[in-house]
Structure 1
Amino acid sequence: MLNLLEHTIKPMMEGEGVKMLACYTGVTGPRNTIIDIWEMDDMEHFRAAYARSIGKLSPGDDLRGKLDSWVEKEILTFMDRRF
């Protein structure tokens, strides 16, 4: 999963202007926890960047299928920076 994140998803999203600020893996708590922090303009920026990125994949590259096979639970949280 980390390989896919680092070598496929990160460059794909950064090519659309969505910057990965950090990626953490859990030491305690639920096993195999990964937390990524991304910076983007707003929700529409994320939606458009994600749609364009997925559109650039070859038809045989089942990114969502790969993610679904590795991710037991996904929690997406979008936040606004305050300071």
Structure 2
Amino acid sequence: MADHTRIEDELELFTCNSSPRPYQTDSAGLNASHRPGLTPDDFRHEQYLLIRDGPRRALVSGCSHKWVLNIMEWFHPDVLIGAFTS
């Protein structure tokens, strides 16, 4: 998946895998299975849905292992809905 997919004018899906992370993150002990073993998870699978309603922007984050502060920096949403980690 590319870092950005436009679904329609009001809906866009992002991964932000190429975006710099101003706030450092780590895997918090979570690992991904890669052959031949496990590596610290980089959370490349996380996705963010941006919903536009006129000038308002709502962001849905299924999980936020890339850190909420980074997500807020990337999008500056009016509303952020999702699961949060620190």
TM-score (norm 1): 0.29
Greater share of strand: 2
TM-score (norm 2): 0.28
Greater share of helix: 1
